[in-house]
Amino acid sequence: MGEKVLMKGNEAVAEAAIRAGCRLYFAYPITPQSELIEYMAKMMPKVDGTFVQAESELAAINMVYGAAGCGKRVMTSSSSPGISLKQEGISYIAGANLPAVIVNVQRGGPGLGDIQPAQGDYFQATKGGGHGDYRVITLAPSSVQEFADMASLAFDLADKYRNPVYILSDGLLGQMMEPVEFKDAKTEKDFEELDKQHFAWCMHSNQDEPNHHHHEINSLEIDPKVLEKHVEKLGEKYNEIEKNEKRWEEYNINEENQMVCVSFGTASRVVKSAIDTLQEAGISVGLIRPITVWPYPSEAIQKALNDKVKKVMVFELNLGQMVEDVKIAVNGKLPVEFFGKVGGIVFTPEEVQEKIKENL
């Protein structure tokens, strides 16, 4: 651990990714994530890494596929419209059981939308996005520090499950400066260890070595019986991830709560400050902040529903995409209300307080 430095989220996650062993980065410029690609352009040559500005997000994610197939830690980043273009590649990466990290610095949509912070890609990230039966582990940071910390977590999870991992941030977290402290950088020994772990499945040829298996990075199984087994195995992996990797934060959750709020990322910061003000006025409201939005921490919400809780409220910067997951968790036990802002507008703490009071 070093000392704290003041940094933009986009730069902090880039620095943290390099420290986590990312030596290959492929991307295409887009606001509000451009500081990330620019940081990589500047820093990758200094660590003997690879930076390629691709001709499109489509090309970038396919470069990621190729590099991941060689067993290396590789990352790409973009903002919403570019993430849409990456969906083809993400589906292939998931289908071929490859580890990769994809950062989405979300902006307002649909279409070209605007360049302000939004959370409109929740469905895309957590419910598929591309074609076929697959899941992407999705981490949702709410501060620059957490954004940076998630880089190494994302690579570890990607490697552990050989699965793509999103860091689902937004324009505010990307552009905002906050103090951040970095973990120690990976050493040569760590890299050797990682290479050793990936050797069993990645492409490296050397056909003449004893016991060499012909390694294929592939998602095509033309025989339905074989594809059935392949997809069922993916399903088992997703079950395993659901069992092990749910993460969340509990904020002011206690026996006195009259309401439980659910909110992630930038939106949750505003909800926290509203909760603090209400608490001072003697109104007890708790917050469950999903840190993984897939796998979704349903049990955390269920456990927070004490006898005094009369309602659950969801706050997001979209039209209420997470409400479905919250309703599944609440399972009809209590009413679930929603308040959101769209178009790149972030609600104020006062607006959130107002909505909570209206719903008490």
* Nearer Cβ to other proteins (69/340): 69
* Nearer Cβ to other proteins (199/328): 199
Specify the DSSP class assigned to residue 107.
Answer: B
Measured CA to CA in angstroms, residue 233 lies from 133, 134, 136, 239 at distances of 11, 11, 15, 10
x/- letters, 196..235, toward other proteins (CB under 8 A)? -------xxxxxxx----xxxxxxx---------------
- Burial classification of residue 66, based on how many CB atoms lie within 10 Å of its CB (0-12 exposed, 13-18 middle, 19 or more buried): middle
256 near 286, Cβ under 8 Å?
A: no
* Nearer Cβ to other proteins (216/350): 216
State the nearest-atom distance from the C-beta of 237 to other proteins, in Å: 20
Report the C-alpha gap between 233 and 240 in whole angstroms: 11
* Nearer Cβ to other proteins (83/217): 217
Q: Which of 62, 70, 358 is nearest to 204 (CA)?
A: 70
x/- letters, 48..67, toward other proteins (CB under 8 A)? --x-x-xxx-xxx-xxxxxx
x/- letters, 6..45, toward other proteins (CB under 8 A)? ------------------x-x-------------------
* Furthest C-alpha separation in the chain: 74
Six token digits for residue 257 = 């709560």
Specify the 3-state DSSP secondary structure of 360. coil
Q: Report 74-103 residues binding other proteins (CB under 8 A).
A: 74, 88-89, 92, 96
State the nearest-atom distance from the C-beta of 338 to other proteins, in Å: 37
- Which residues here bind other proteins, judged by CB under 8 A? 24, 26, 50, 52, 54-56, 58-60, 62-72, 74, 88-89, 92, 96, 203-209, 214-220
